[in-house]
Amino acid sequence: MTHPNPSRRLFIGLRKEDLEGKPYASFYNPRVAALPEHAKEALLHGPVAGPLLPRLSDAPQLLFSTETELENGFGIQNDGSLHVAIRTDMPNVNPEMIDFWFGWHSAEPQRYKLWHPRAHLHAQWESAESAHLANQKGRARYVGRTSFVDEYLGSTLTQAAINFLPPTELAFDESTLADPQQATVIAARISLTNSPLEAGYLVHHVRRVAGGAQMRSRFWLGGPYAALRAGRFQVPVPSQVARLIRTPTLDEGRDLLVHCSQEMSHLATFLPKLYAELHDLP
């Protein structure tokens, strides 16, 4: 997908002038929250055996269970795809706040940098946001739209287009998400910017728990989850072609696990207060 702003400036961090006049300026904290112990344990454990890794079709069932066989970890499945799983405990957060965040953060690059100030460079919607859309609440503001993001995963600059899907497209039951205070699902197709390759899928399932919320993040990349875009159509990528174009690696799995855990843990440190003060801000 072609980036709508090829001349965008990419740099880590925010300068004083970048936040001047922004009502969210006080929420910028360049010190990222520490990596949770369960994420460190998953990294020390190393890659998980392929047969133990769930498939995308398992997502609706495994994410709504009390416990899953793989809460935190990464590995290469037998079909060559990469799977990453990480849990984030989010005190004082509720699922409605997460829906607000996903609709709110791509409106300005500065907002995106609040999320992970040591890795996020730029984010924007594929097209200008109408006043009507900017005033939408919850999933209505982001589902069906594409956010273009520039970020570092580890030391690698990654440029992707995140197309947010209705959860029903990945077989989630909409009735289980009827109350945004209790649960939500963020589902998306991941494409590589300025490339015909659609790389895979992400799912963040957020549910209300005592004292806040729990997010379960899952990624399925490469293998049968990759496709070539041909106009409006998606063409499955034969395994031998996929290896030549883009093969996910275990190192990328480690980097993605760390990045997701860091950004979601950091988000939880300021989202409740930001939501309370700014949830009516377009």
Q: Give the model's pLDDT for residue 194.
A: 87
pLDDT, residue 211, reads 97
3-state secondary structure (DSSP) of residue 88: strand
The tokens describing 192, both together, are: 């590589």
> What's the average pLDDT block by block, 10 residues per block, for the chain (282 residues)?
94 96 97 95 97 93 74 95 97 98 97 98 95 91 97 97 97 92 96 90 96 97 85 54 67 98 98 96 84
pLDDT computed for residue 239 by the predictor:
46
Q: Is 75 helix (H, G, I), strand (E, B) or coil?
A: strand
Contact at 8 Å (CB) between 39 and 258? Answer: yes
Strand segments (E) across 168-231: 183-192, 197-209, 212-221, 227-230
Task: Evaluate whether 152 touches 160 at the Cβ level (below 8 Å).
Answer: no
- The number of helices, as runs of H, and strands, as runs of E, in the chain is 8, 10
Q: Helices 95-104 and 250-278 meet at what angle, rounded to 10?
A: 100
Identify the pLDDT of residue 243. 46
Say how far apart CA 94 and CA 210 lie, in whole Å: 10
- Supply 172's token pair: 């989630």
In 3D space, the residue among 233, 228, 231, 224 whose CA is nearest the CA of residue 245 turns out to be 228
Residue 99's pLDDT is 98
- pLDDT, residue 179, reads 93
Cβ atoms of 14 and 115 closer than 8 Å: no
The reported pTM is 0.93
pLDDT of 257 reads 98
